[in-house]
Amino acid sequence: MKLQKYLLLLVLITFSQTLYALEEKQFCIYDPIGKNGPAVTFFSDLEAKAIRWGLTLKLVPYTDEKIASNDFKSGLCDMVFLTAILGLPYVPFGGTLGVIGGIENTKQLNILTKSLTNPKLNNYLINGNYEVAGVLPIGAVYMFVNDRTIDTVAEFSGKKMSVLNAAPQAYMMASMVGASPVGTSLATFSGQFNNGVIDLLPMVALSYSAFELYRGLGDAGGILDEKLFYGMMEVISHKDRFEPDFGQKMRNYVLSRMKDIHKLVADAEFEIPSKYWIKTSDGTVQDLGHLKRNVRVALKEKGVLDPKALTLLWKIRCSVNPKHAECVTPE
């Protein structure tokens, strides 16, 4: 009996020393709600997984995305969770995956998220010492309008349109449709829309309740039901602060959570009252399709987007819909 107690004591001491020896890493997570928000909650199981990977991961919530990005850039964070817009300068390939019209439906989205775990793409997900350790789609981006009569591309002209975090594609889109760009951030866009400062707001359904966008929609507004693109969040790491296979493990982990993400998005879209959804006409769908392509081509020519990422997205779209015009005449 004494021997059993002694052996158990040795095991406990060894285990505690192992935990103590694990190096702590700071995972800075943008979550508009804070420590009890959906992003932090989503990653809560990662702490236990990280221990099995040989490290302790401390989740640090940020309610301001730009501060999270700046702290990551300055080295205070070992890893960060932010939008693809802010992720673009770190790893252009990853930041390009959220381009307008890049992914059109859930089937294509599933192909993309699966492909990102293919080791053959690993080099594309690394830029210098930055690595995309995961891409989380947070739902389709729709155009929120404060007036239901704004239901065609032509009606966008002269309206004030949100440009979130100085996103190049939002600026290009506003320019092409003749709208007036208004700079917004994740901290300000809801107030600007709800107070009538902007008329057009490209945004995911998850924001409807979280940011009380029903205030801006009121009785007159609505949401065009045509998908513009898929909103993407990214996990980006300082590659040299982790083991070489850490990025691959993280991408596999994110893929394993896709069902949870899809449910979260589906619930958010279902929560929006049917009265707000505006059925887009065939003509508007066609006009938006031309607009999406024109924005992509223009940004590619300006060198803003990563050509390899655009090619990957094109291959995915054409694998699902090979008869589409763009598959006959590539971008």
Q: What is the pLDDT of residues 46-65, one digit of tens each?
A: 999 999 999 999 999 999 99
Q: How far apart are CA 194 and CA 245, in angstroms?
A: 45
Q: Is the pLDDT of residue 13 over 90?
A: no
> Residue 331: which pLDDT band, with cuts at 50, 70 and 90?
low
Token pair for 287: 């006009």
Q: Is the pLDDT of residue 198 over 60?
A: yes
Q: What is the pLDDT of residue 330?
A: 59
| Closest C-alpha among 302, 265, 227 to residue 137 | 265
Any idea where the domains of the chain sit in the sequence?
2-328
Q: Is the pLDDT of residue 85 over 60?
A: yes
Q: What is the pLDDT of residue 148?
A: 96
> Residue 19: which pLDDT band, with cuts at 50, 70 and 90?
very low
The CATH number assigned to the domain with range 2-328 reads: 3.40.190.170
Q: Is the pLDDT of residue 6 over 90?
A: no
Residue 56 to residues 191, 236, 242, 245, Cα–Cα distance (Å): 38, 17, 11, 16
Q: Is the pLDDT of residue 3 over 90?
A: no
**Backbone phi, then psi, for 57, in 5-degree steps?**
-115, 120
Q: How far apart are CA 331 and CA 327, in angstroms?
A: 8
Average pLDDT, the chain: 91
Q: Cβ(94)–Cβ(125) under 8 Å? A: yes
> Which residues have C-beta within 8 Å of that of residue 222, sequence separation ≥ 6?
144, 145, 148, 151, 275, 276, 277, 278
> Residue 22: which pLDDT band, with cuts at 50, 70 and 90?
low
Token pair for 44: 């809560």
Q: How far apart are CA 228 and CA 230, in angstroms?
A: 7
Q: Is the pLDDT of residue 10 over 50?
A: no
Summarize the confidence of residues 199-208 as an average pLDDT. Answer: 96
Give the E-state strand segments of the chain in sequence order.
23-30, 55-62, 79-83, 126-127, 130-145, 160-164, 180-184, 200-204, 222-238, 277-278
Q: What is the pLDDT of residue 5?
A: 53
